[in-house]
Amino acid sequence: VTALFETATYIWINVNIATMDSNVTSQGDFDTGYGVLLNQAVAIVDDCICAIVPMQQYIKPSTDITIIDAKGRWLTPSFIDAHTHLVYAGNRADEFEQRLQGASYQELAKRGGGILSTVNATRKASLIELIENSQPRLDALIREGVSCVEIKSGYGLTIEDELKMLRAAKALGANNQVRVSTTLLAAHSIPPEYANNPDGYIDLICDELIPAAVAQSLVDAVDVFCEQIAFSAQQCERVFIAAKKHGLAVKGHMEQLTNQHGSQLAARFNALSVDHLEWLDEEGVQAISDSGTVATLLPGAFYFLRETKVPPIELLRSYQVPIAIATDLNPGSSPIASIRLVMQMACTLFRLTPSESLAGVTRNGAKALGLSESIGQIKVGMQADMLLWDIESPAQLCYQFGMNELVQKIFAGKVCDV
Ligand SMILES: [Zn+2]
């Protein structure tokens, strides 16, 4: 261990850690879900965590290494936002205002509102404009400590416009200190061109769009919206078959407004995650428990749509389904560029414990993206993606909102004060 500290690139001493490692039993009086280790020394070498030891066992290295005295502050893994639609053009503030002035959904649709207004704006935008429009939303997430974000397409709904959205997401990843995971969500909404032929649109996705996205290395996973107002379970199944044929992981917007049994379908394809889940029943919970699929909860959309049916949290707990929490950042149902706010909402609206909420944006967020082996926990061998907080307990991260107690960010071993 001494040798590991001798060859480190950075060392933190006198630091408390919410490791979020489920094999660590919390020290002190802390909820064991945090995997708390108190008064530790942590070393990283390049982009990797190489040693974690109690201060009693730490010997100051003889070599010239940057040593940071954390003075009892806390390290957590960096946050992972595993479900966003943050690449889009325009916004829907006018529509929000008109609805609050009494306009009905039908009236708004007639005036060109709803998802199609975002589709029109996104189609009109150039790649550069799309990147510029999306950058401030990504900045807001990064400021709060997000170091990995999933970004979906789904507002292009043509081959070229869906690929343009994925290119914008990739460019945002390349231009910023953040890992970006890209998801093709062409099966988000039926495009106007296919209003009378949704199966023809599914053909286009399966036969042309998925192969093109794979050929251009633009996509990590494929998503669908399985709902009465979107696509049937049968149509989603065709998309999943095409995705698997091309070696891509799948996931789905499932059971948000009604129970379409999309979660059972997703489980049969070993989906990474099923997301929303307000209407999920016990059979669905059983199915995703068996397939090791993550349940991703999106309290921001629940709040913004003023939903009242809460996802089946007790069932998810009793079947030990890993729960992720994400912003669902999008212009229609969750214009919320704050991971801290949704961490708090997961507790206040869904009654998750703060340790479950924190696990939702770290360890389980990583699992929802298939990245469990490298990020989401503070553990030897993991990527050095960590946040240093001026807090007294990790529960503070879910308890208070509007404060930013972040003092230092470590991304892939690079350290910056904030
Ligand atoms: Zn979504």
Cα(223) to centroid of ligand 1, in Å? Answer: 9
Q: Please give the distance, rounded to the nearest whole angstrom, from the Cα atom of residue 329 to the centre of ligand 1.
A: 8
CA of 86 to the centre of ligand 1 (A): 10
**Residue 253 Cα to ligand 1 middle (Å):** 6
Distance of CA 176 to the CA centre of its chain: 17
For residue 72, how far is its CA from the centre of ligand 1 (angstroms)? 38
- Which DSSP state fits 366? H
* pLDDT higher than threshold 90 for residue 417: no
Q: What is the mean pLDDT of the chain?
A: 96
Centroid of ligand 1 to alpha carbon of 369 (angstroms):
14
Contact 333, 301 (CB under 8 A): yes
pTM of the model: 0.97
pLDDT > 90 fraction of the chain, expressed in percent and rounded: 93
CA dihedral 385, 390, 393, 399 (to 10 degrees): -90
Please report, to the nearest 10 degrees, the dihedral formed by the alpha carbons of residues 353, 354, 355, 357 taken in order: 90
Report CA(326)–ligand 1 centroid distance (Å).
9
Give dist(CA 68, CA 60) in Å, integer. 12
Quote the ligand 1 centre to 347 CA distance (angstroms).
Answer: 20
* Residue-wise pLDDT tens digits, 27-66: 999 999 999 999 999 999 999 999 999 999 999 999 899 9
Q: What is the dihedral of CA 284, 289, 294, 296, to 10 degrees?
A: 40
In angstroms, the CA 218 to CA 216 distance is 5
pLDDT tens for 283-299 read: 999 999 999 999 999 99
Dihedral through CA 274, CA 255, CA 297, CA 324, nearest 10?
-20
Ligand 1 midpoint to CA 210 (Å):
19
Closest CA to 352 of 370, 337, 364: 364
Residue 361 contacts residue 352 (beta carbons within 8 Å): no
**What's the rounded Cα separation, in Å, for the pair 251 and 182?**
12
Q: From ligand 1's centre to the CA of 112, what distance in Å?
A: 21
What is the C-alpha to C-alpha distance for residues 30 and 37, in angstroms, rounded to an integer? 10
Q: Considering the chain, what percentage of its residues have pLDDT values greater than 70?
A: 100
383: nearest Cα among 219, 179, 143: 179
| C-alpha 90 to ligand 1 mean position (Å) | 17
Give the model confidence (pLDDT) of 333-390 as tens digits: 999 999 999 999 999 999 999 999 999 999 999 999 999 999 999 999 999 999 999 9
Ligand 1 centroid to residue 2 C-alpha, Å = 47
Residue 385 confidence (pLDDT): 98
Angstrom distance (rounded) from CA 320 to CA 117: 40
Sequence-distant (≥ 6) Cβ neighbours of residue 227 within 8 angstroms: 253, 256, 257, 258, 260
User: What spacing in Å lies between the alpha carbon of 328 and ligand 1's midpoint?
Assistant: 5
Q: Are 235 and 187 in contact (CB under 8 A)?
A: yes
The pLDDT tens digits of the residues spanning 393-414 come to 999 999 999 999 999 999 999 9
pLDDT digit string (tens) for 149-169? 999 999 999 999 999 999 999
Instruction: Report how far ligand 1's centroid is from the alpha carbon of 365 (Å).
Output: 15
Cα(254) to centroid of ligand 1, in Å? 10
CA of 175 to the centre of ligand 1 (A): 24
Q: What average pLDDT does the segment 263-273 reach? A: 98
**∠ Cα 134 366 210 (to 5°):** 60
- Tens-digit pLDDT profile for residues 99-123: 899 988 778 777 777 889 999 999 9
Compute, in angstroms, the gap from residue 4 CA to the centroid of ligand 1: 43
Residue type, 304: F
Query: pLDDT tens for residues 165-195?
Result: 999 999 999 999 999 999 999 999 999 999 9
pLDDT at 132: 98
CB 246 within 8 A of CB 210: yes
Report the separation in Å between the CA atom of 207 and the middle of ligand 1, taken as the mean of its atom positions: 24
* Cα torsion through 109, 193, 89, 367, rounded to 10: 100
